[in-house]
Structure 1
Amino acid sequence: MATSGGGDDDGVEVKRAFIGAGCNRIVNNVSFSASDLVALGSQNAVAIFSPKTAQILTTLPGHKASVNCTHWLPSPKFAFKAAKHLERHYLLSGDADGVIILWELSVLKGKWRHVLQLPESHKKGVTCISAYMVSETEAIFASTSSDGTVYVWEVALPSTSGGECKLSCLESLFVGSKPMVALSLAELPGSNGRIVLAMGGLDSKIHLYCGERAGKFVHACELKGHTDWIRSLDFSLPVHTNDNTETILLVSSSQDRGIRIWKVAPRGDTKEEICLASYIKGPVLVTGSSSYQVSLESLLIGHEDWVYSVEWQPPTVIPGEGDFYHQPQSILSASMDKTMMIWQPERTSGIWMNVVTVGELSHCALGFYGGHWSSSGDSILAHGYGGSFHLWKNVGVDLDNWQPQKVPSGHFAAVADISWARSSEYLLSVSHDQVMRNPCWHEIARPQVHGHDINCVTIIKGKGNHRYVCGADEKVARVFEATLSFLKTLNHAVSQDGIFEDLQTGVQVLGANMSALGLSQKPIYAQTEQETPNRIGNDNLDTLETIPNAVPVALTEPPIEDQLAWHTLWPESHKLYGHGNELFSLCCNREGNLVASSCKAQSATIAEIWLWQVGSWKAVGRLQSHSLTVTQMEFSHDDKLLLSVSRDRQFSVFAIKGTGSDEISHELVARQEAHKRIIWACSWNPHGYEFATGSRDKTVKIWDVENQSLVKLLLTLPPFKASVTALSWIGLGNNKKNGLLAVGMENGLIELWSLSINRTNDGSTGAPPATAARFAQLDPVLCHVSAVNRLAWRNKEKGDEECSGLQLASCGADHCVRVFDVKAPCDVDSFGFMNLRVEGTKLL
């Protein structure tokens, strides 16, 4: 954390207020800890969230490629070994470049530390990491990759705070041209520390390797039975049979939709009793002087699609028995058929049965990539194809009663644009995951699920119902209007009774239904909300046209994923045709009567900016100035000027005037080549006609429009370390000469600069027309790990001099939406060049 001098009274404080992020769509990406925290890969970062608060607590930067898998030390399987009372927990994460990083969490302080990066990395992406805790300070873990190798490691964890982790590679195994994608480790019962490693993958076989704690791992046997890729493996801890023999059970799942349970038992001289539960003997596993009989215990059939994960319920401590534990005979499976199942053996026959099924989501969901137990076994978590989480908790007393719980949410692709509501009640974000969301420190609505990557959005700032315009990888801009159910939900969310009562009286649309192809969204009117369509003759017909109707309702608490995906849509009211290519940028003036749009372009004709009149949605202007894509536009504080920047390295300033008859006149005031590379961002000073431009040439320049006709350069900020991709300027209090400029860069970092404009300078005093000082470099832990795509200050309703309530929103290519609380004195001159206090990572 970078912290500069200065007391708390006159300094600047930046805190994390909100993180929204989705999960990478890959198997093995999510893991529960023994202390019931959840780790997940979100693009190049590892995100940590708490199921108790349903909030993402922090993101860990360090990986340079997409994170594929995570694994906790200890995992819930070893929570019974007093793991919940450990001062430090550790996390392993592997990425698509083959890099594995070990992280340390100080539980009491909530502080994270990058411990080390494994020295021998895989040549290709890591697909699975599995570990076995030998003791509280020692673990053995294995990693596998699509490069066809499996590494086995031993790590000695420090027993005291600040100690070093000692790492050694025990084995490097090459498994051939068909890589392994699933691993599990266990200690063989009665073997004095011999370890068994199970691996499965593309050859549809389970391979068992045996080795000593510090010895070589040797291929012992292979288990055949599955007919498609092995997707998940998990060993139980030793289970005691009726004759006090210790056995371990291995559960496997496959793309053949089946789940198999294998028993590994020591071979003895006693005659085994033949029973229905164990009737198929497999190979004999020999290691040292010990031998073990492997047999197929059970075959579980119930899922209708690929079974991506299986996991034993974590053991529980037997009260009053010291270190003794009970391994529940309970398995959790997750499948692409949109369900998770809990399997348990029937008490009398011992036959494994499906006892709980959760999921069965709407048509929007495309199945689960994994399912995980909490350490106590009373909660189960799934992550889905849409980057979403689904959490169920057993709230029953005598009987099981699994109920859905709140979880964090976010985009699973690059977030392209954000826009605050006109009174900043909520924030709207759009992404290349083709979803538009309302994250309000909890996601309260998902107004649009689209068939194309969404590139830009603007909320209409004028009076009337809440509306927004969005542009995607199509040539059409679309207009959406808030529903009655959303307005009621928003009224409850902001805790101000009656604030949206006037809007609700004129809104007849209760919600919206998604079309078959996921493009247009049709309104559901309040007077027909109880009506259901007559589908006589089509009851058994499963087509795209039989999508069930949404059931929009006013929400009094944050919705769960299934409600968001289907019941919070907004209807589309208009389509704006005119552009020749994919939409790229949108903006709305502050009066709310004019929208500007641009599209991807490689010629002056296509690069023109279109002006649309709000309400009639007529095209009232076509502004020609640029020769390549216009990357961003913004209206001045009084709506008299429109600023645009482009890939052609030029900015343009247009004078916009209303003629009084719903007509708009426009005139090109200035056009200038401002930078040496693409100009990505621009922002007006809220208190004047100064504006900032940011470019790929790593510079930010401050310009002034004199008399709305002549543009001159006031100041060039010192070069940044990366391309500047986002800018946002806000005034501080009533002091109209001072402002705060947020600068976002391609490397994900964000800086805050104080700007002071001297408008009374006539050149005779020698004082500069503008001064700038960097006073805040946000800690990388707080920032994005990929390019910042947009920054937006939250508008303050009150013009008082108290600036403690500033909030800055950002979105980036790392799939994240972030909101920062910024406390700054209104008098920029009072805190000089560098004066900052930034809150680091903190568990809430």
Structure 2
Amino acid sequence: MAAATIETCHVACCANRTPNVVSWSRRGTIAFGTCNSVALYDPQERKVVALLSGHTNRVNAVQWVHREDYGPERHLVSAGSDHRLIVWEAQNETFIQSVECKGHTGPVCAVDAIYMDNSQILVVSSASDSTVRLWLSECLHTLSFGSGFMMDVSLARLPGSRVPILACGGDDSRVHLYVQSHGQVTMCLQGHEDWVRGVEWASIGGELLLASCSQDCLIRVWRLCAKSGTDARPEDDHTVIKMKEDVFEVKEKGEDVSSVFALSLETVLAGHENWVYGVHWQPPFYRGDELQQPLSLLSASMDKTMILWAPEEGSGVWVEQVRVGEVGGNTLGFYGCQMSVDGSMIVAHAFNGALHLWCKDQDRKGEWRPGVVISGHFNAVQDLSWDPEGEFILSVGADQTTRLFTPWRKHDSQQATWHEISRPQIHGYDMQCLATVGRFQFVSGADEKVLRVFQAPRNFVENFANISGTSKEQLLTSSDSANLPEGASTPALGLSNKAVFQGDLVQKTCEDEKQFNSVSDQYQESYFHPLNMTEPPPEDHLLQNTLWPEVQKLYGHGFEMFCLASDSARTVVASACKASKAEHASILLWSTSTWRQLQTLPYHTLTVTQMAFSPDAQHLLAVSRDRTWSLWRRHPTTPDNPAEPQFSLYAHTEKDTSIHSRIIWSCDWSPDGKYFVTSSRDKKVIVWGSLEDAADPGLPPEIKPRSSILDVGDSATAVAFCPVLCSDNRHLILFKWKDWSLVYRGGYVLQITRNRRNPQSSQQSYYR
């Protein structure tokens, strides 16, 4: 029997909103936590190469275990709000769970790890239970901080020694150091005046450098080196200013001789204007004996900037080399930063989960430009809809955004990669549903009583043509293009996207040349600037310059919107809202030509959870929290009323006769329109019989299950027919249940899949 396989062609996701959740390996792979998984992202190929699923709650910290010989990493450590740590090991080009550490009683917020002599991995973790724990498969030691919290931890080895040293930065404005020898050595580094948010060691030329960053907007660099008798200077030598040193002695296990180390403050870096959340060292990078990348330190701050610091060649004074970041927008700043091993790319992750990538311009020395990087929703993805031509996909989420993804083929690559190229809607309420209407128009619903209709502006259509390689003439006629606005902007404190026309751009340019005349002029709307894109835009442009203008508001529902559907002819939109009574559970039908309400369809007594029009647009299927489904038939149009369709109830189930015993979450039609499928919290997926089974076409048919009832073992929350029949004319059904999905993985990840025929595979379930 011929079968079909499913291949992942794109995963859209973002980093979780925690400081220590991104780590860059020396082999070039960026690991970051996204929802309950760890994503492995290749910035060169611009795609997620793997998703590591093992945590049962949000992943808060990710760290590659770096090797001393600068070879490719084979281990990765992750920790999450499920109070667990997982060590992942590379085997046969995949990562598997190697070690699981349990013991914390609160969410783990930071991790680090180093290799020991016997290739064992020493892991350190900090959690909200006010403890820091050290692990070698099992917990070796626990450091308790009473009512305090350690925000970040970092491990290294003392210079010329195998003894590990631990640095912890906490809410007491101090950096705590611990050395495990015959007697535990502890030290506190003072100087910061607010919470220490990040700490990181770097081994440089037989010495250790420790960078610490704080909410006092400052970065402190500390130097730790082995001390010998030759380090002492004559007492009358006043030519050198020496910083105060903290000296401590360490005796290794099995050794009679002690080693003496000195720790001093190297420098204080002041350049950020807000809390500094992350620091990351770039050690010197050599190719042979030639220095390719000198020592540098990268920092990320809530002031929306990253700064690259480095000591000057002559004086050794640390100065700012590069500053990059986001200008404007209504978001907070950066949580953390990372740098590629060769120093050619730097990445930051922001409070809204977005990754920001900058690449060193090889043609213009010293300049950096924004790079194309993965993006996605930072909260639950609630709904999605394909473009009628199948060239892009729209999605909405609880992060209050609507996003548009499309494939992009770079000129030097044959492989197309999917990217977000527009953020048509940035809203003040969590988004719940959407439906596409025509090629460049959609309707969306949120946690409000209003439906909003959006139309693509001309600037988006032109940029979409550039990125997708489609002819502009094929997308819009000249008359259509002339009537479209150039873009959209959001008024201050407003929820509606305001259209911006060509004349508005000229007027705005003139206004920008004038100074503010009043206080109110200082609080202007976020304004649109036209883009000429040949590649996907960076995050700051997505936030401000890719909005779609709102062309209509639809009123009529009494509570927050819940689901939407549009017919294949794109002439009718059906909508439903949250309802606890029958009077609010009615379905409303809207005309897409006039945006006038056509009809009210009352039947259900609780919230209608999903609706679907049949492929021929002649039937509307609805499922509900009241455990029933209803089927509505479209009446033929008449010469007296040719443009306004009317629907009437055709078939339905009752509570006492319905097979489903819990809320019905989802429904869909087979591509030939003969069958439909429902999925429910009662763990059942049911394919219902053909409409052609009715003995009398004029009478309501008795629709029964067409196949055996499939029990998926957990709440089935989404279901869909594949639009293409398999080679033996069988239907393929994809369904999603509580903890696993073929279409969505977790709450925050949008996964697009491709259907491919594969005669060698027979792993899918089919219904004839």
TM-score, L = length of structure 1: 0.81
1:284 lines up with 2:229 in the alignment:
no
Summarize the alignment of residues 716-755 of structure 1 with structure 2, pairs less than 5 Å apart: 716-733=708-725, 738-750=730-742
SS of the residue corresponding to residue 74 of structure 2 reads strand
Q: Does 1:666 align with 2:647?
A: yes
C-alpha offsets along residues 61-87 of structure 1, whole Å, 9 cap, x if unaligned?
Answer: 111010001011227xx4xx1403xxx
Give the aligned partner of residue 37 of structure 2: 45
Q: Is the 8 A contact 2:3 2:726 kept in 1?
A: no
After TM superposition, list the pairs within 5 Å mapping 1:159-558 onto structure 2.
167=137, 169-190=139-160, 192-212=161-181, 218-239=184-205, 246-269=206-229, 270-272=231-233, 279-281=242-244, 283-288=246-251, 289-317=258-286, 319-320=288-289, 328-396=294-362, 399-440=365-406, 441-461=418-438, 466-497=440-471, 498-502=473-477, 505-517=481-493, 519-532=495-508, 534=511, 536-538=514-516, 545-558=523-536
| C-alpha distance in structure 1 between counterparts of 2:329 and 2:396, whole Å | 21
Whole-angstrom distance in 1 between the partners of 2:752 and 2:309: 42
Aligned residue for 2:633, secondary structure, equals: strand
Does the 8 Å CA contact 1:19/1:57 hold for their aligned counterparts?
Answer: no
What per-residue deviation string (whole Å, max 9, x for no partner) do you get for residues 652-698 of structure 1?
A: 11223345254343322223133100000011222134211110001
**Aligned match of 1:712:** 703
- The secondary structure found in structure 2 opposite 1:487 is helix
- 1:824 lines up with 2:757 in the alignment: yes
Distance in 1 between the 2:90 and 2:494 partners?
42
Q: What is the CA distance between 1:478 and its match in structure 2?
A: 0.3
How far does residue 366 in structure 1 lie from its aligned partner after superposition? 1.6
Checking the alignment, whether the CA contact within 8 Å between 1:278 and 1:298 is kept in structure 2 is no
Pair 1:272–1:145, CA change in 2 (3 A):
farther
Q: Is the 8 A contact 1:416 1:811 kept in 2?
A: no
Seen in structure 2, the aligned counterparts of structure 1 residues 666 and 396 have a Cα distance that, compared at 3 Å, is closer
Equivalences for 1:39-78 in 2 at 5 Å? 39-74=31-66, 78=68
Displacement of 1:715 in angstroms is: 3.0
Q: What SS does the corresponding residue of 2:460 show, helix, strand or coil?
A: helix
Count of paired positions: 727
For 1:41 and 1:405, the matched residues in 2 are separated by 21
Answer whether contact 2:435 2:566 (CA < 8 A) is retained: yes
Q: Match of 1:160?
A: none
Does 670-679 or 15-24 show the bigger shift?
Answer: 670-679
Q: Do the aligned residues in 1 keep the contact of 2:516 with 2:522 (CA within 8 Å)?
A: no
Q: Secondary structure at the match of 1:64?
A: coil
**Which residue in 1 is equivalent to 2:28?**
36
User: What TM-score do you get using the length of structure 2 for normalisation?
Assistant: 0.89
* Counterpart secondary structure, 2:477: helix
Consecutive unaligned residues in structure 2, runs of 5 or more: 252-257, 407-417
Give, as a single letter, the amino acid of the residue that structure 2 aligns with 1:711: E
- Output the CA distance in 1 between the equivalents of 2:458 and 2:24: 38
Highest relative contact order (Cα 8 Å, sep 6+), 1 or 2? Answer: 1
C-alpha root-mean-square deviation of aligned residues, in Å? 2.7
Of 578, 581, 587, 1:600 maps to: 578
Question: Which residue in 2 is equivalent to 1:571?
Answer: 549
Cα deviations across residues 255-289 of structure 1 (Å, max 9, x unaligned)? 11111111223344443498999654153333233
Kept in 1: contact 2:209–2:223 (CA 8 A): yes
- Report SS of the residue matched to 2:710: coil
CA shift for structure 1 position 236? 1.7
Quick one: structure 1 residues 609 and 319, their matched pair in 2 at CA, closer, same or farther if it must change by over 3 Å?
Answer: same
Supply the AA of the counterpart residue of 1:229.
W
Supply the distance in 1 between the matched residues of 2:357 and 2:170 (Cα, whole angstroms). 28
Displacement after TM superposition at 1:391 (Å)? 1.1
Superposed CA deviations along residues 303-354 of structure 1, whole A, max 9, x for unmatched, are 1111001111133236249xxx999432100001000001122344433221
Inter-CA distance 417–403: structure 2 relative to 1 (3 Å threshold): same
How much does 1:138 deviate? Answer: 4.6
State the Cα distance separating 1:60 from its structure 2 match.
Answer: 1.1
The equivalent residue for 2:133 is 151
Displacement, 1:449? 1.0
Equivalents in 2 of 1:749, 1:734: separation in Å? 21
Q: Distance in 2 between matches of 1:428 and 1:327?
A: 42
Q: Deviations over 1:687-716 (max 9, x none)?
A: 134211110001112223433722321334
- Cα distance, 1:59 vs structure 2: 1.0
Q: Does the residue aligned with 1:193 lie in a helix, a strand or coil?
A: coil
In 1, Cα distance between equivalents of 2:489 and 2:9: 33
